[in-house]
């Protein structure tokens, strides 16, 4: 293969061919083209397609189908969970808890709530990037309404012990929200075992289409949520708007495929990632951001001494498609808020590169990418001042 190596799965996956086929069938002249809210036969056929997909989506995370609310993606799911729960429960308490390494969809939602008069406790993770359950326990107060801690970090891949955090919240009667956009479909997810009340995830991070996601809303007891949009009362009154049948169907198939292949794919991708890390260590002056043990299988965040990450990113363009951080922050020149929360200097943050693997990654990809990175790093270091190699955390 002569094209660039795609190592940006944490940003988005290629759509699986079976998903694309399912969506095309829905869009064809004989497909379920009617409005799924219509009561006639074709409307009921479209609604049946959606409910079958809902079952597949729910099965991926160990949930009941009735607890799945379809949204436009994880960002909307996070916003509906956080803003919806806080605004619905503001008479019971206005204290919220989250961490400094959350996705911007979560961070910005909490910033908005601060503007609305809520108080937010921002937890700082340990050097390995994990938020300790004890930190959450210590932060909870009698007036705490909601805790939000992500499952797997989108920049470092570090995984939090959300089950222990969920138990601490459940014992204290506090709602618990989890952003599981990176973990769903790559590692086992069991929302019941997590004691989670609200869990957000999305299709395009596991081989489905962009523009469709889901929010798990615990059925019993069901948390009160204030909708963000209003209209036809779809999705049990939580998310108005006509559902895109083809996208929902594609999401369902993507979840089925991920669930069937999960054990084998988790082992395979984790093995590829460790081989990539082993190759990159031979470059010298490298370090790994986040936890190597408690981590998602496909994400590797590496720092290179003496290198400015954006320069490396540009040097690899056309050879390796990766990221200098979260894709959602690509327009910002600011250092990663995640890496800064881990205690890295601005220079160390800027010297870091996120490489992420997935379903279509191969051993040949790993070798080609490692060779390209090594060559680019060597060339950039040859152009840098000698003291630049001292720029390590």
- 266-324 pLDDT, tens per residue? 999 999 999 999 999 999 999 999 988 899 999 999 999 988 878 898 899 899 999 87
Residue 390 confidence class, pLDDT cut points 50, 70, 90: low
Look at the domain 5-12+262-390 and name its fold. Answer: 3.90.1150
What percent of the chain shows pLDDT beyond 70?
A: 95
Residue 223's closest CA among 121, 111, 168, 145?
145
- Give the mean pLDDT of the chain: 94
Write down the pLDDT at residue 21. Answer: 98
| Residue 232, SS3 per DSSP | coil
Write down the pLDDT at residue 347. Answer: 87
Catalytic positions: 328
Q: Are 151 and 178 in contact (CB under 8 A)?
A: yes
From-to residues of CATH 3.40.640.10 in the chain: 17-256
Write down the pLDDT at residue 292. Answer: 86
Residue 391: pLDDT over 60 = no
Residue 353's closest CA among 320, 382, 378, 386?
320
The DSSP secondary-structure symbol of 389 reads G
Residue 392 confidence class, pLDDT cut points 50, 70, 90: low
Residue appearing with tokens 């190759």: 279
Residue 71: pLDDT over 60 = yes
Q: For the whole model, what pTM was predicted? A: 0.95
Write down the pLDDT at residue 383. Answer: 87
Write down the pLDDT at residue 1. Answer: 52
Residue 169: pLDDT over 60 = yes
Q: Give me the mean pLDDT over the 134-149 stretch.
A: 98
From-to residues of CATH 3.90.1150.10 in the chain: 5-12+262-390
Q: Give me the mean pLDDT over the 373-393 stretch.
A: 79
| Residue 105, SS3 per DSSP | helix
Q: Give me the mean pLDDT over the 242-266 stretch.
A: 97
Other Cβ atoms within 10 Å of 173 Cβ, number: 11
Residue 389: pLDDT over 70 = no
Other Cβ atoms within 10 Å of 2 Cβ, number: 3
C-alpha–C-alpha distance, residues 262 and 268, integer Å: 10
Residue 100's closest CA among 123, 134, 118, 82?
123
Residue 49: pLDDT over 70 = yes
- Helices then strands, each counted (H, E), the chain: 11, 12
Q: What digits encode the pLDDT tens for the residues 195-247?
A: 999 999 999 999 999 999 999 999 999 999 999 999 988 999 999 999 999 99
Look at the domain 17-256 and name its fold. Answer: 3.40.640
- What b/e sequence results for 364-388 when a residue is b if at least 16 CB atoms lie within 10 Å of its CB, and e otherwise? ebbebbbebbeebbeebbeebeeeb
Residue 187: pLDDT over 70 = yes
Q: What digits encode the pLDDT tens for the residues 318-334?
A: 999 998 765 454 445 57
Residue 354's closest CA among 340, 343, 334, 339?
339
């Amino acid at each position: 293969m002569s094209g660039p190596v795609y190592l940006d799965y944490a940003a988005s996956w290629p759509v699986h061919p079976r998903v694309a086929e399912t969506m095309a069938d829905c869009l064809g002249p004989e497909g379920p083209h009617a409005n799924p809210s219509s009561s006639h036969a074709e409307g009921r056929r479209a609604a049946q397609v959606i409910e079958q997909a809902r079952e597949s989506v729910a099965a991926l995370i160990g949930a009941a189908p009735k607890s799945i609310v379809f949204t436009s993606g994880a960002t909307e799911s996070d916003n509906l969970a956080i803003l919806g729960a806080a605004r619905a429960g503001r008479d019971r308490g206005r204290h919220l808890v989250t961490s400094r390494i959350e996705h911007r969809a979560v961070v910005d939602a909490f910033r908005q709530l601060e503007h609305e008069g809520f108080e937010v406790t921002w937890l700082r993770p340990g050097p390995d990037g994990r938020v300790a359950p004890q930190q959450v326990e210590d932060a909870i107060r009698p007036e705490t309404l909601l805790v939000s801690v992500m499952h797997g970090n989108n920049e470092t891949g570090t995984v939090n012990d959300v089950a222990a955090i969920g138990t601490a919240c459940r014992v204290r009667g506090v709602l618990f929200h989890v952003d599981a956009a990176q973990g769903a479909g790559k590692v086992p997810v069991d929302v019941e075992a997590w004691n989670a009340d609200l869990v957000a995830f999305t299709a395009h991070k596991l081989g489905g289409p962009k523009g469709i996601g889901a929010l798990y809303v615990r059925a019993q007891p069901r948390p009160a949520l204030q909708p963000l949009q209003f209209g036809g009362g779809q999705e049990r009154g939580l998310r108005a708007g006509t559902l895109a049948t083809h996208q929902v169907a594609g999401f369902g198939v993507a979840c089925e495929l991920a669930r069937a292949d999960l054990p084998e794919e988790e082992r395979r991708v984790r093995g590829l990632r460790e081989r990539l890390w082993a190759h990159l260590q031979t470059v010298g002056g490298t370090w790994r951001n986040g936890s190597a043990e408690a981590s998602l299988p496909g994400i590797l965040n590496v720092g290179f001494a003496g290198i400015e990450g954006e320069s490396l990113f540009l040097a690899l363009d056309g050879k390796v498609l990766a990221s200098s951080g979260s894709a959602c922050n690509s327009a910002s020149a600011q250092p990663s808020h995640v890496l800064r929360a881990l205690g890295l200097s601005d220079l160390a943050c800027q010297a870091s590169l996120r490489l992420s693997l997935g379903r279509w990654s191969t051993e040949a990809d790993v070798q080609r990418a490692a060779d390209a990175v090594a060559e680019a790093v060597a060339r950039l270091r040859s152009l840098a001042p000698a003291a630049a190699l001292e720029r390590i955390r």
